[in-house]
Structures are given as C-alpha cells and as structure tokens.
Structure 1
Amino acid sequence: MGIEKSAVKHDPYAVLKIPEFRLFVLARLSLTLALQIQSVIVGWQIYDLTQDPLALGLIGLAEAIPSIIVALYAGHVADSTSRKKIIITCVLVLLVCSSALLVYSFNIHQSMAVLGTIPIYSVIFLSGIARGFFGPATFSFMPQLLPDKTWYINAVSWSSTTWQGASVAGPAIGGLLYGFFGVQASYSADVGLTLMALLFFFLIAAKPLPENTQRLPIKESLLSGIRFVFNNQVILSAISLDLFAVLFGGAVALLPIFASEILHTGPQGLGFLRAAPALGSVAMAVYITHHPIKIDAGKKMLLCVAGFGVCMILFGLSTNFYFSLLLLGLSGVFDSISVIIRSTLMQTLTPEHMKGRVSSVNNIFVGSSNEIGSFESGAVAKLMGVVSSVVFGGCMTLLVVGITAFKADKLRKLNL
C-alpha cells in the first residue's frame, strides 16, 4: 500500500490514504444518504396518509422481518462467496426499491384508493432482504481493504463517522426536499445517490476470500456464528446492551408525531429532529478518531448507554423544539461511543473467515433492533400514548444497563 503501519498510531487520517478505502467511504456515504432520505419520506408519507402511529411502527417491522429471516444465511454467503458481488447485487436491489417508490409516488392518492399502503410496505420488505445480505458483506469486506488489524480502530472510527455524517445530512435533506420540492424530488435524490453508491462500489477491486481451514456443512456453518458469539462474553454482552437499549430507548419512529403534534413543526422540522442524533454521533466519532478510547472502555460504554436512556426520558417530556434537538444530539453522542467500541471489538476478536457469520448474528440482535424498536415504539404509543411510550423506553434502557453492569464483569472491566 506504500503506507507505514506505524502511521496508524500517529495519523488519524492514515486509513483515508488508502484509495480503495476512500471509495468504500464514498459508497457508504452515498448509500446512507439515500436510505436516510428514503426513511424520512416514507415515514412522513405513511403518517400523512394514515394518521396512525402503529403504521409508522409497521415500517420498521416490514424491514426487520426479512432482514432477520435471511441473516444467518447471509452471513454464510458472505464467508463463502465474493463479497463484492454480494454488495453490488444488494445495491442493485435497493436501486430497484428506490425507483419503485418514485414511480408509486406519482398520483399517490389515486393509487392509495386502489392499493392502499401495501406497495410501500412491499418495497420496504424487499429492501429489508437486500440489507440483510448487505450488512455481513460490507462488515467482512472492509477489513480486506486494510493492511492488517492495527488499522481497525482507525477504519471503524472513519466508517462510523461517514455513516453518522450521512445520517446528519440525509434526514435534513429529505425533510427539506419534501417540504419545498415535494415527494418526487425527494425520491429522485434517493435514486441518484443509490446510483452513485453502485458506481463507487463497482470501482473497488474484488478481494479473494480469507483462507478457511474448516469446511463445514451448511447447517454447521450457519450455527457456528451463533456459537462464537455466545461463547464470547465480551461480544455477547456488548451486543445485548445495544440490542435492548435501542429496542426500548429509540424514539425515531415516533418523530413524525412529535414534529406534527407536540413540537408543531412541519417536515422541515422532522428532518432536523432526525438529523440531531446523527449530528451528535458524528461529532463524537470524529473526536474518537483523534482520541481513541482505550482505558475503561467497558465502563464508559455502560455510562453512555445510561446517558442515552436519560436523554430519551427527557425528550419524551419536552415540549420545546430546541431543547428536544439538544437532547437528541446528546443521545447521538452517547450512542456513538457504544457503537464504536462494539464494532472495534467485533472486528478485532472475530477471525477473518467468520466475519460474515458473526456480523449476521450482530445484525439479528442489533442491526434489526432499530426496526423492531420502531414497531415496539409504535405499538406502545398506540396503547399508552406517544409521550408515555418514549419515557417507558428510556426507563427500560436504564434497567438494562443496570442488569448488564451487574452480570457482565468482563465488559465492565474492559480496556481497549
């Protein structure tokens, strides 16, 4: 690569000097922008058409179910098939989904009268399948772009920064496009950005699969990732902490209701609310890139997840738009630390030939928890009310942190 390994220890930008990693970052940036724009528009459109909080929760469920169903097989495929081919195929499917939403958005009210929201949920279901395969493939493909493991923390930090940065811009862009130019312009931007991601991924050379001394039957291969995670207390406890915190603590699915009925803003305000957590996350990710977390990483992770729960409780009680933005931004700061620590642990502790399968287990427990958490939020909001739902979720997050801190002593004592 022409880059000294020791540079990683001193240069926070060292990994960006690798041309293929830069293409990977640009591809993730483009695709994440597209998906965030799509998420904002679909959420606002569904609530505008149905006025039902449960309908918002069903968006997450429609994406999570197929992702969970294919997860284990997707991990097996990522460890036995060209990872670049999987990524290209998934992005092509996502491009079809974006195009379908754009087409359906024309004469939406006439289409709704005949077909209802079923086509929208069907497209989200298909995209869930693609994202179920995309996650393990990209998780295991990224390390192949690096010289060795000494680059992992730097790469994970920049990958997280890129994702979070796109998550800052994506919702704001989506809300502004929807508010000022309409739904067709928003979905057109979604399609264009997905095309850009496809091009960037295409320009990265395919990599050979890591050597694997174990040739397992497909059933054993599917189960080996689960066994690896459940036999590693540090990875298991980190995944479990994030799972339950996001499952109970997230309020993203209900933001259209907060924007419309509690904070009294339009789609533009919704875009900023959606962007606030990611803005906090990207700020913290950039900081961690320059100042990696090493000492008391486990304790800091536990404290930050607790801080996330407190932010959710206060957000649920807030009726001030700017205070709500601040709380969501702080929740992103806390969440970023947890994500980077967990991702670094998984990359470092997982053998190369098992990264796809271990990532698939992570996607089942954490990757889909956002979508399942969206359904949980919508369902609880239907039963208890919107504010009570968010406050309840934050309290459950604090309970999970307490249990994890008591039970998972290895995580509590973790240093990186």
Structure 2
Amino acid sequence: MNNNTSGRISFSEKNPVLKNKEFLCYLLYRFGIYFALNLQSTAIYYWVYHLTGSNLKMGLIGLAEVIPAIGFSMFSGHFVDLHEKRKMLLMCLIGYIFLGGGLFVLSTQISLGHLGLNWTLDLIFALIFFGGILRAFIGPSAFALLGQLTPREHYPNATSWSSMGFKLGSVLGPLSFGVINTIMGLLQDNPIDMVRTSGLVKAIPGVTGSMFLIFIVELFLLIPVLIIKAKPILKKTKEPIMQSLSLGVKFILKTPALLGAQALDMFTVLFGGAVALLPAFVEINRMTETEYGLLRAAPGIGSIITLVLLAYLPLNTKPGKKLLWCCAGFGASIIIFGLSKNIYLASVALIASGMFDAVSVVVRGTILQLVTPDEMRGRVAAVNTMFISSSNELGDFESGVMASWLGTIKAIIVGGCLTFGVVSFTAMKAKKLRKFDYKEYA
C-alpha cells in the first residue's frame, strides 16, 4: 500500500525542499562554511588562551569581530539588495578563503618564530576584524538568496534544513578541533606549557592543522556556490542611501512579533554566552583537549537532535509560546553547566542548551522569512545580522569581562539567571510574539 492510500505523508512529502538541486547546493555550502568558521573560532579561542592565559583576551576576540559586523551591517543590507545574491555570496566566500589562508600561515612555527607574542596577537585580532566585515555581508547575502531558491510555502521547511546545515557544521567543527589537537599533539613533542613563554611563541600543532583544514574546506565550497544560477535583482529603484538604510530598522520596529523574537534571542544569548569561557572552564576542572572539543560541540549536538525531530514533527502550532519556554530552558541549562564539576553533567547541560536554542533559531528564522518583503530582504537581514552579532560576539565579550570580575563559574551562573529575567520580561510585554501563527503569513 502506498503512502497516499494509507493516509500517511512520506518523508519526501514533508521535506519538499530536498528535491531542489540548488537548495541542496546551498545546504552543502551552509554546512561547509559553518563547519569551517566554528572550527576556526574554536581554534582561535584555544590558541589565544594558551598564548595569554587571559579570560579578558578571550572576550576581546568577540569584540574584535562584533564591532565591524555591526558597523558594516546597515550598509551591507543596502548593498545586497542592489546586487545579485549568488555573486555576493561568492565574494564573501573568497574573502573567507584569504582569511583562512592568513590564519594558517600565521599559526605555523616559521611565522610565529619571527613575529613573537605581541605581533602574533595583533595580527590574529586584525584577521578577526576582517572576518567581522565579511560576516556583515555573508548573512544578508545567504538569507536573501535562500528566499529566491524556494517558493514561499516551503519557507518553514527550508529554514529548518538550513538551520540543520548550520548546526551540523557547528557541531563537527569544534569536535574536529578536539580530535585534530589530540592527534597532532601526540605526534609532536610540544607541551602546551611551553607555548606561553617569555617573548617566545611556539606553534600549537592542533591549531596549525585546523587552520589548514579550514582553508581546504573553503576552497571546496566554491563548487556548490558556482552551481547555483544567478538570480534576478528584485530591488530596482535606488532611493537615497540613508533612507534605504532606515527602512530595514523601521520594518522590524513596526513588526512586533519579529521585534520580540529578535530581542529575546539577542539578550538570551548575550547573557548565556558560556561557551566563550570553555577554555578556562576546562582548565579549572582539569579536562583534556578532547573533552574541550566535545564540550564546544555539545550545544550543536543538541541543536541537531532538535532539528532532526522537527523534520518529522514540524513546529506548526503556537511557535511563540514554545519559543519562550525553550529560552527559559536554555537559561536553566546554562546554570546547570556552571554548577557541573565533571564532563558528563557539563555535556548534558550544553546539549540541552543546544536543543532549546534550535527552537529559537527555527522560529526566528521562519518569522523573518515569512514577514519580510522580497525587495527588502537584504536590509532586514542586515539588521538581523546586527542582532545575531550583538548576541553572540558581545555575549563572548560580556562573559570574558564578567569572568575577569566574578570568576569563571560565577559568571556562567549569573548569566543563566539573567536569561530567566529576559524571558519573563518578554513574556509579559511581547503579546504578538506569544500569539504568532505561521498560517497568517503562509
């Protein structure tokens, strides 16, 4: 008996976007770029911490990326709306290839031996700053392109799969660093205690190997991006740039459900940015490099679990209320993580945080796709990039500053408690978000 006569809906019928060749290329790109960027981020945090031993320096990594990401976001949205989206995505990818190559060269022993500690740190932060500029453009470009690859009725399905590609990359990137760092550390006699010495900088084999892998992956991603055909430019008129820039902000401010979801996500992740403190957390609890990689990947593992479930059980009813409950669960998970003393409880807590966060990603992304007019996608996505950058990178900075003030463990616990306060305030004030229904916009 076939699916239709039995009354059951097949997996392919639940996921029509998987029949779209260009969407599959987009999905491969989405996975690959976030695999590379999360591997890169994990390696950089580990690298900088073992060069300096400073929580504050780890916080400054986030600040170095968020300043250009926010500063260029408004202009990037205007620029993306006026240009072909596939070409914009390709230019950003080429920029990341140069960034990955630069970090690889900088991480080698030849480069480190000539530069010394201070110059090495300065160049790391300069390259992170360049990555922040690229981030301002790649987010709006990818968002706008996704809207042109699938019909409107498939947006929730496309958003779920796009989020799954993002989260899978977010898991395998950090996990790969733990494996690479362990293997290369065994192959070479380079104790981590010798990395941080007076005026002398030694290469960390795992960091160098990771940077090389990032460079190769980003080169490979040119293939799926080039397979996607160029898309029409939907915005034909050119209004004054300041007027154009303000439209994205005004649109979000006039759309209560979208504003509520964005603000909730921003402040939840801002105060719950415990992952930035993982190098210090691992050192305090005397865990290994492999366990560091596992913990760094744990939120992504949780997200993938949720996203796989959503592929079979779509989030079609009461998305706003579910978003609020899951953000509260995220805060509770961060508190439990801060209180944990072993790898098992810490892993479970971070996996749970990723499961709750995945709901936020899907609901926020779907609301954004449904309510945004086609001709404004770049500018609205640019404002979205500001929210995301503010929450992630400023969250890293906030965590670093808080940890240098209160200590690592107290900073994590306080962040989780503040998340509860944000959820409670949003639940009282954002009525449109609580009552949001996908069917009204499909």
Q: Which TM-score tier does this pair reach, normalised by the shorter chain? A: over 0.9
CA-CA distance at 1:215 after TM superposition: 4.1
CA-CA distance at 1:115 after TM superposition: 1.1
Residue 163 (structure 2) pairs with residue 160 (structure 1): yes
Cα distance in 2 for residues equivalent to 1:385 and 1:36: 25
Q: Would the aligned equivalents of 1:75 and 1:133 in 2 still touch at CA under 8 Å?
A: yes
Residue 389 (structure 2) pairs with residue 367 (structure 1): yes
Shift in alpha-carbon separation, 1:414–1:8, aligned structure 2, 3 A: farther
Cα distance in 2 for residues equivalent to 1:193 and 1:365: 28
Residue 310 (structure 2) pairs with residue 306 (structure 1): no
**TM superposition outliers: structure 1 runs of 4+ over 6 Å:** 7-10
Question: 2:216: which partner in 1?
Answer: 192
1:109-188 matches, within 5 Å, as 110-113=114-117, 115-146=119-150, 148-181=151-184, 182=205, 183-188=207-212
Q: Which has the larger radius of gyration?
A: 2
CA-CA distance at 1:112 after TM superposition: 2.7
Cα distance in 1 for residues equivalent to 2:128 and 2:118: 19
Q: CA RMSD in A?
A: 1.5
Identity of aligned residues (%): 39
Residue 319 (structure 2) pairs with residue 293 (structure 1): no
Q: Would the aligned equivalents of 2:182 and 2:289 in 1 still touch at CA under 8 Å?
A: yes
Shift in alpha-carbon separation, 1:410–1:46, aligned structure 2, 3 A: same
Q: AA paired with 1:128? A: G
Question: 2:225: which partner in 1?
Answer: 201
Classify the secondary structure of the residue corresponding to 1:11.
Answer: helix
Cα distance in 2 for residues equivalent to 1:13 and 1:296: 21
Cα distance in 2 for residues equivalent to 1:117 and 1:24: 34
Number of matched pairs: 407
Q: Would the aligned equivalents of 1:8 and 1:154 in 2 still touch at CA under 8 Å?
A: no
In structure 2, stretches of 5+ residues that fail to align are 1-8, 185-204
Cα distance in 2 for residues equivalent to 1:378 and 1:187: 24
Question: 2:265: which partner in 1?
Answer: 242
1:277-292 matches, within 5 Å, as 277-292=299-314
Q: Would the aligned equivalents of 2:78 and 2:245 in 1 still touch at CA under 8 Å?
A: yes
1:30-69 matches, within 5 Å, as 30-69=32-71
Cα distance in 1 for residues equivalent to 2:297 and 2:118: 34
Residue 103 (structure 2) pairs with residue 101 (structure 1): yes
Question: 1:228: which partner in 2?
Answer: 251
Cα distance in 2 for residues equivalent to 1:387 and 1:266: 18
Q: Would the aligned equivalents of 2:252 and 2:258 in 1 still touch at CA under 8 Å?
A: yes
In structure 1, stretches of 5+ residues that fail to align are 1-6
Could you tell me which of 375, 378, 383 is aligned with 2:400? Answer: 378
Normalising to structure 2: TM-score of the pair?
A: 0.90
Classify the secondary structure of the residue corresponding to 2:14.
Answer: coil
Normalising to structure 1: TM-score of the pair?
A: 0.95
Classify the secondary structure of the residue corresponding to 1:117.
Answer: helix
CA-CA distance at 1:116 after TM superposition: 3.9
Q: Would the aligned equivalents of 1:60 and 1:372 in 2 still touch at CA under 8 Å?
A: yes
More off after superposition, 266-275 vs 345-354: 266-275
CA-CA distance at 1:297 after TM superposition: 1.2
Question: 2:26: which partner in 1?
Answer: 24
Q: AA paired with 1:132? A: A
